[in-house]
Structure 1
Amino acid sequence: MNNINQTIVAPTTNISTQAISLIRISGDDSFNIINKLLKKRITETKNVWVRKLYDKNELIDEVVLTSFVAPASFTGEHVVEIACHGGILNTQKIINLIIKNGARMANKGEFSQRAFLNNKIDLIQAEGINDLIFAKNELALKIGVNNMTGVHNQSIINLKTNLLDIISRIQVSIDYPDYDDVEGSSVEDLTTALRLINNEVTALLKRSKMAIKNANGIKTAIVGKTNVGKSSLLNALLNEDKAIVTDIHGTTRDIVTGEINLENISLNLIDTAGIRKTNDVVENLGIEKSFKMIEDAELILFVVNKENLNDSENKEIFLKIKNKKFILIFNKSELISNEEKIQLINEYENIVFTSAINNDIEMLLNMIERLYFNEEIMNNDSLILINLEQISLVEQIKNKLEQALNAIIFGVPIDIINVDLHQAWEFLNQLIGEQYEEEIIDNIFKKYCLGK
């Protein structure tokens, strides 16, 4: 683990040509270091100061300093934040001066890591900060804000308290077997209490698994025959000319990808090669990839034209996607009459009409939002996790609770049951960071931005 006794510095905004750049110093020597660059010193108090920075007698910049005194800061240490004039050379020069006078460059995520180590935030809050920074849509943003502030973290504390109560009851029964009337220690009482905890964990896991897909992106394949407008649709969705569009059949021969972020969902888009019978070896390889993408995708955007809806290639695609979530897209809608549209709507589910070449895709976007709108996660005020490592820990907690429940029901000795419960307790502690390995904590914070 990094030496937390050292004072660190990093830019908290991108180093670029801009009006203002922000630099953060954190550590015991923050005030001493900044005062070496000032002719008019600042005191160790929480305050805002306007000062000129000097390198010896050379004026460097006039800045605004915001100072915080430990432990009342984000990191729990002395912190001085410098709002200087933006610019690559100016910002870098000030950072180099601070390093020259006793600080070292912070590693990625080291400010947040120090906040965690100094008990200013728990791991759920720490991950919430990162989720907030990298949020792709409104749902991820909401979850990141909630988790960063810790408004729902009391639910984990309550789970720990309730589980500890059960462990304690069982331990009393083990240590004092003659006292068989300890309140709440009967098989029925323990089973009821454990089921309540397991139900809460199961609900958390269910919410989180639903939310992580919406937040991180649904793997979405655009499939269909050649020349139906798949690449035009991809370009319209991305609002850029990413895929080559021509009237020549088989233009797309490999996978083209992109990402779009709607209000409450993100899509990881894959434009596949058009499916048709061909003797072209390279094109056939692309078609094989298309069928593989259909198998792997979580959502299929099946693009057709009304003229070729029932031909052999489309029938084959229908068979491949019948057990998948898909939207049937009639592209080139300008060529379809209103009477034909009504007939098709009555015949097929999840059908939309688009004109990708004219960027007319609103009906498709609305359909995607409706398909993935989930009241349970969109309007839920309970804890939701969208981090894979956290969800994995919740799964392990659930597994241990269910093992203990099954063991109680089948009459397994009570001391063996407590082993599973202790492990569930340890996983809960790992979830909020009350138990951790230094190497794991280092790895968690390395994925953060520099300066955070």
Structure 2
Amino acid sequence: MSSINQTIVAPTTNISTQAISLIRISGDESFNIINNLLKLKIKKEKNVWVRKLFDGEELVDEVVITSFVSPASFTGENVVEIACHGGILNTQRIINLIIKNGARMANKGEFSQRAFLNNKIDLIQAEGINDLIFAKNELALKIGVNNMTGAHNQSITNLKANLLDIISRIQVSIDYPDYDDVEGSSVEDLTHALELITDEVSALLKRSKMAVKNTNGIKTAIVGKTNVGKSSLLNALLNEDKAIVTDIHGTTRDIVTGEINLENISLNLIDTAGIRNTQDIVEGLGIEKSFKMIDEAELVLFVVDYKSINDKENKLIFEKIKNKKYIVVFNKSEFINDMEKKEIANSEKNFVFTSAINNDINQLINRIEGMHVNEELTRNDSLILINLEQISLVEHVKNNLEKSLTAIINGLPIDIVNVDLHQAWNYLNELIGEQYDEEIIDNIFKKYCLGK
């Protein structure tokens, strides 16, 4: 952060062969640096300019310049953005000219970091920017947009205000012990107020933990006997021929993985070796891995052939997954008649019919989303966090609130209660960045892409 006063530059689009590249300059010297490259200077004002860019007397490019004056910019500094003709050599040449005239190359995430340090955004908004950039499904995209704009960040401000009110009531009781009738300071009042805050934090934590699984990817194992269509199902879900499919039993001998991004959920798919008795050493090792994957999976897709549903291997798998979240996938549904489908509906609760070879998997996709996505995640009026560090801070807030609540109920001295409440308050401040460690802030923004 010692270099925060230096003027920085970076491409905000990939450097590649494309129609337009965008280069951003931010810092006190932004206008002086760009004017060093122009015959016709631009004014220090918010505007859009069309100019020819020069290296001495040599024409470099004709560009569109958008200028912003501090503090009315993304970073809160003087900012100049240059839309130049795309191309690796041209873009690099212009960046090198800007550096030659006094700027330095920006670090990853440094524009966003400066926006945070200049109070243009809080940490939840900063993380929202990154969440938006790296979103893998619609849910992650929506959360990223909401957090980037600060649409629901007021809930943290309200939590802080309510917590500060409780801390203040307790502090008055500590400082003025003779006044035992301070409004709202009875054990019952404090307990009720703390319960309300704790419930709100718990709800935020619950939503966020659900969402982070959906956005990062749920570990999903595809298991079943040999030749029931596990690899065909994987290929259908991924919409590519990633796994080898044959009629030969034991074709899949090791783990095959892939990722699928549905509308509101991502799945990290694992196609396992078919489970059967075998004398083949290599296939046997694959089957051992299959059982291990069942243990590690967050969701199991148990693929079965209706004709062999009661086989010994299937019963073994049923026993293995009974305490897991699973879906029984009756594949090759084109060979299951209506009477058999009714029998299945009477005997199984969580099942779907698919025909992976015909790419008929809509029932399965709908069931997966129905199991993992609810109104709490899809409605547009609640703060949701999908950054693990942020979720960890909320867990700390909850733990301290619960400790305070327990202390009040158990009749411990009120000053002890306030110690944990102050710690919860500090964690809320850390969550939005009102107090922070410089090294932690540096590390947060280093995970951003260059130019953001």
Shift of 1:178: 2.1
The alignment status of 1:169 with 2:169, answered yes or no, reads yes
Write out per-residue CA displacement over residues 104-134 of structure 1, whole angstroms, 9 at most, x where no aligned residue. Answer: 1111111101000000000000111111111
Query: Deviations along 1:305-360, whole A, 9 cap, x unmatched?
Result: 12221111110000011111111112122222233223222321222222212222
Aligned equivalents of 2:402, 2:110: Cα separation in 1: 37
Q: Distance in 1 between matches of 2:56 and 2:300?
A: 65
Correspondence 1:84-233 to 2 at 5 A: 84-233=84-233
TM-score (norm 2): 0.98
Question: Partners in 2 of 1:451 and 1:219 — Cα distance?
Answer: 32
How far apart are residue 96 of structure 1 and its match?
1.0
Separation in structure 2 between the aligned mates of residue 246 and residue 108 of structure 1, nearest angstrom:
47
1: CA distance, partners of 2:336 / 2:196? 56
Shift of 1:217: 1.3
Aligned to 1:435: 435
- Deviation, structure 1 residue 252: 1.4
Alpha-carbon distance in structure 2 between the residues aligned to 1:188 and 1:352:
51
Q: Is the partner of 2:219 in helix, strand or coil?
A: strand
Aligned partners of 1:385, 1:348: CA distance in 2, in Å?
36
Q: Which residue of 2 aligns with 1:312?
A: 312
Structure 1 segment 261-410 matched on structure 2, within 5 A: 261-410=261-410
State the AA in 2 paired with 1:210.
M
Instruction: Please list the CA deviations of residues 32-55 of structure 1 after superposition, one character each: whole Å capped at 9, or x if unmatched.
Output: 111111111111100000001111
SS where residue 259 of structure 1 aligns?
strand
| Residue matched to 1:47 | 47
What does residue 15 of structure 2 align with?
A: 15
Distance 2:2 2:131 in 1: 23
Distance 2:169 2:375 in 1: 38
Is 272-281 or 387-396 further displaced after alignment?
Answer: 272-281
C-alpha displacement at 1:209, in angstroms?
1.3
> Structure 2: which 5+ residue stretches go unaligned?
none
d(CA) in 1 for partners of 2:187 and 2:341? 62
Structure 2 SS opposite 1:170 = helix
Q: CA deviation at 1:2?
A: 5.3
Deviations for 1:73-122, whole angstroms, at most 9, x for unmatched residues? 00000000111111111111111111111111111111101000000000
How far apart in 2 are the matches of 1:182 and 1:40?
A: 69
Q: Which amino acid aligns with 1:212?
A: V
In 1, Cα distance between equivalents of 2:199 and 2:338: 50
Runs of 4+ aligned residues of structure 1 deviating over 3 Å after TM superposition are none
* Larger deviation, residues 311-320 vs 172-181: 172-181
Cα deviation 1:373-392 (Å, max 9, x = unaligned): 30122114111111111111
Distance 1:411 1:27 in 2: 56
- CA deviation map 1:250-289 (0-9, x unaligned): 2212211111111111111111111111122222221111
- Structure 1 residue 235 displacement after superposition: 1.0
Give the whole-Å Cα distance in 1 for the aligned partners of 2:98 and 2:338: 69
Match of 1:10, SS state, is strand
Q: Structure 2 CA distance, aligned partners of 1:327 and 1:343?
A: 17
Aligned to 2:30: 30
Question: What letter is aligned with 1:238?
Answer: L
Match of 1:6 in 2: 6
Counterpart Cα distance in 2 of 1:81 and 1:35: 13
- Alignment-derived partner of residue 419 in structure 2: 419
Superposed CA deviations along residues 374-416 of structure 1, whole A, max 9, x for unmatched, are 0122114111111111111111100000000100111111111
**In structure 1, C-alpha distance between the alignment counterparts of 2:209 and 2:145, rounded to whole Å:** 18
2:79 match = 79
1:422-449 per-position Cα deviation (integer Å, ceiling 9, x unaligned): 1000000000000111111111111111
The superposition leaves residues 192-218 of structure 1 with CA deviations (integer Å, 9 ceiling, x where unpaired) of 111111111111111111111122211
CA–CA separation in structure 2 for the residues paired with 1:68 and 1:224: 60
Distance (Å, rounded) in 2 between the aligned partners of 1:380 and 1:292: 39
Distance 2:363 2:189 in 1: 54
Q: Output the CA distance in 2 between the equivalents of 1:174 and 1:351.
A: 60
Matched AA of 1:213 = K
TM-score by length of 1: 0.98
Amino acid paired to 1:430: E
Secondary structure of residue in 2 paired with 1:248 = coil
Q: 1:168, 1:334 → 2: CA distance?
A: 68
Other structure's SS at 1:59 match = strand
Please, which runs of 5 or more residues in structure 1 have no aligned partner? Answer: none
Which residue identity lines up with residue 45 of structure 1 in the other structure? E
Q: Distance in 2 between matches of 1:347 and 1:141?
A: 39
Give the letter for the 2:271 counterpart.
D
